[in-house]
Amino acid sequence: MRIRIDHSTRYTYARAARFIVQTLRLTPRSCEGQQVRDWRIETDVDARLRRSEDAFGNIVHSLYTERPTDALTIRVTGEVSTIDTGGVVRGLSERLSPLVFLRETPLTRADAAIVNFARTVPDGATLARLHALMGALHQDVAFEVGATSATHTAAEAFGQKRGVCQDHAQIFIAAARVLGVPARYVSGHLSRQDGQHDQDAAHAWAEAWVQDLGWVGFDPANGVCPTEHYVRVAVGLDALGATPIRGTSYGGGQERLTVALHVRPVQQNQQQLQSGGWPR
């Protein structure tokens, strides 16, 4: 399917900020499961955008404003063609050993409760254990907007048994690492099947390393592996490492942030389709 994404992030300041620096992880890579057809990042102020890659292979843009400004809007628009790979990630050049993703972080540190939860997963093949972990987490931790903030840890969210997709992903990661399975955080987008195209925020899920399969996606917030409705953007050890926008401003006083996100499927022109292949 083809998915169109319009994502706008606006910062306003109490007074003009002298200088703004932002790190943007907003651009997806093409792989077997997704083909980026068109992608654009724009701002409404004079700014420099410098493209690079981070240690995880994410596409990163560094943004620097050129003059004092009291407001900044970053807009992303693009289209991605996707296919269902059963959650298996193929066609990416992985720079790091999967063992790197056994490393815990403050956001994904497993406390005693998460350790005990992980140990309730029945013994068996790794893939089956990860599906069981996802199912148990989906059932035990309720999805509730506003129950947590971006700074909540996996242990804090698990302790209150409530959270959003970021919390579900980080709890899954913490528990998978307890089981000795490398796991990482994924930020991206989800084209919802209920017709709700306007969304409050981007989506998040996890990937875990399975021998002979490679990286496999798990979305415990929805209890499924990623399908053609998902667009994968960035990965990290936790939410902080894959956050879409992170940065700072010098001066400006109090800052206000508003986000607008629209994700929808696009009707494909059948004349442009090649049998068994991607739209050209």
- Residue 66's pLDDT is 84
What is the average pLDDT score of the chain?
92
- Residue 198's pLDDT is 87
Q: Of 2, 28, 173, 170, which Cα lies nearest the Cα of 92?
A: 28
**What is the rounded distance in angstroms from the CA atom of residue 265 to the CA atom of residue 268?**
9
pTM attached to this predicted model:
0.91
- Burial label for 139, CB within 10 Å (0-12, 13-18, 19+), is exposed
* 61, two tokens: 């843009």
**What is the rounded distance in angstroms from the CA atom of residue 139 to the CA atom of residue 177?**
20
Query: Cβ–Cβ contacts within 10 Å for residue 183, how many?
Result: 28
Domains of the chain from N-terminus onward: 2-266 (3.10.620.30)
**What is the rounded distance in angstroms from the CA atom of residue 77 to the CA atom of residue 6?**
5
- Residue 44's pLDDT is 92
- Residue 195's pLDDT is 76
Query: Cβ–Cβ contacts within 10 Å for residue 178, how many?
Result: 19
- Residue 268's pLDDT is 58
| Tens digit of each residue's pLDDT, the chain (280 residues) | 999 999 999 999 999 999 899 999 999 999 999 999 999 999 999 899 999 999 999 999 999 998 999 999 999 999 999 999 999 999 998 989 999 999 999 999 999 999 999 999 999 999 999 999 999 999 999 999 999 999 999 999 999 999 999 999 999 999 999 999 999 999 999 998 887 888 888 999 999 999 999 999 999 999 999 999 999 999 999 999 999 999 988 887 888 999 999 999 997 553 344 434 433 3
